[in-house]
Amino acid sequence: MNQLTLTSYLKLLACDGVGVLSARKLLDLSKNVNSLFDASNKQFFADFNIPKSIQNALLKFDKNDLIEAEAKFIEKNNIQCVGILDDTYPKLLKECADAPILLFYKGDLSLLNNNCLAIVGTRKISAYGKEVTSKLMEHLQPYKPTIVSGMAYGVDIAAYHEAKKFNLPTVGIMGTSFKKLYPAMHKNFYNDLFSNGLIITEYAGFNMLVPELFTRRNRIIAGLCNATVVIESAETGGSLSTAYFANDYAREVYAVPGKINDDFSKGCLRLIHENRAQLLYNFDHLIADLNWNTTAEPKKQAEVKKEINLNDFTALQQTILKSLQNEPLHIDELALQTNLDMSVLNAELMMLELNGIVVGLPGKVFKVKE
């Protein structure tokens, strides 16, 4: 992006009284960001009946020192920029009416040309959430989607680590500008993605840091991706906003179920109950739903039946496997034999399914996988 165009985009971002939707409308109409600040372009304003308040904001812009300082910061820190009128602007995000007019980034923007999957959830991830995240990434490995997260504590950073572990391309979306990487404890992970992934923000250094920026950031996470997976969330968790944005954009949303009395399962269960998300009961149906293909064959389970070492499993899982070792059982019979509460039994069976140990058959019958 040349300096004149960057300056015009920055001025539009800093323009009082011109919000995201108004700025997007102006650019859709004008097709040229530079022309918006041209005093001789009055015919454009007349042709499209642009409100006087917006005309005055554009033509009387007086924050040039602010813009000059921001442009110098961008150059000094090797930050790249892409505007919504550019061919390289992420295509899926451009489809969203409230997409940012300008993205600041470091790293490889072409990673967004892949199939993209958003992974979001609570900052207080449980051991269960970590295990599901890891198994999901392992299952996705043959398909090489780009994993997108907000790089926050909990589910976000777990998604980053697990994606790296399975060599999946990774993108982080910040709720701050490049002047303040947040959280600061993740600075090394940001630096890694500058070279080996991608970090994006819509915020310039002159944007005030307020909590609302993180909620607005979530629309970018949803807008960049074919689908969003909510791993764990409180009933009013911030990650639910990402799911709602994805709903608004007609993108797929999946939620991982959990125990009804677990605080950080309630958000996922709520999404499922309200038909805002599909229940993610195994990973094969996610791949099938999204119609993702790969030239590499997904890893196949070994055809020779594996000997199961019960010591590799939790006490609850050992109880279940001992009951299933001789014959398939209906879930009601399994509950009687194991004396486990049905919610606990369902949760443990799902983990055994995700690990490829147990198979669910029609009619709620389960057996040990051969």
- 297 has a pLDDT exceeding 60: no
pLDDT, tens only, 95-119: 998 999 999 999 999 999 999 999 9
C-alpha span between 65 and 208 (Å, rounded): 17
C-alpha span between 188 and 185 (Å, rounded): 8
| Range of lowest pLDDT (54-68, 149-163, 270-284, 346-360) | 346-360
Where is pLDDT greater, at 301 or 116? 116
Angle at 313 between CA 309 and CA 319, to 5 degrees: 95
Average pLDDT over residues 184-203: 94
- 273 has a pLDDT exceeding 70: yes
Helix (H) or strand (E) holding 64: helix 64-76
- 307 has a pLDDT exceeding 70: no
Where is pLDDT greater, at 346 or 230? 230
CATH architecture of 310-368: Orthogonal Bundle (1.10)
Average pLDDT over residues 271-285: 89
The residues, ordered by sequence, that sit 6+ positions from 98 with a Cβ below 8 Å of its Cβ are 20, 21, 24, 219
Q: What ranges do the domains of the chain cover?
A: 3-76, 109-290, 310-368
Where is pLDDT greater, at 125 or 300? 125
Average pLDDT over residues 250-271: 91
50 confidence band (pLDDT: 50, 70, 90): confident
Where is pLDDT greater, at 211 or 174? 174
Helix (H) or strand (E) holding 358: strand 358-361
363 confidence band (pLDDT: 50, 70, 90): low
362 confidence band (pLDDT: 50, 70, 90): low
233 confidence band (pLDDT: 50, 70, 90): very high
Sign of CA dihedral 236, 242, 243, 245: positive
- 198 has a pLDDT exceeding 90: yes
- 41 has a pLDDT exceeding 80: no
Q: Are strands 278-279 and 252-255 parallel, antiparallel or unpaired?
A: parallel
For the chain, give the percent of residues with pLDDT over 70.
95
Tokens of 331: 């879930």
What pLDDT does 355 receive? 80
Average pLDDT over residues 185-208: 93
- Whole-number average pLDDT of the chain: 88
Fold agreement (109-290, 310-368):
no
CATH number given to 109-290: 3.40.50.450
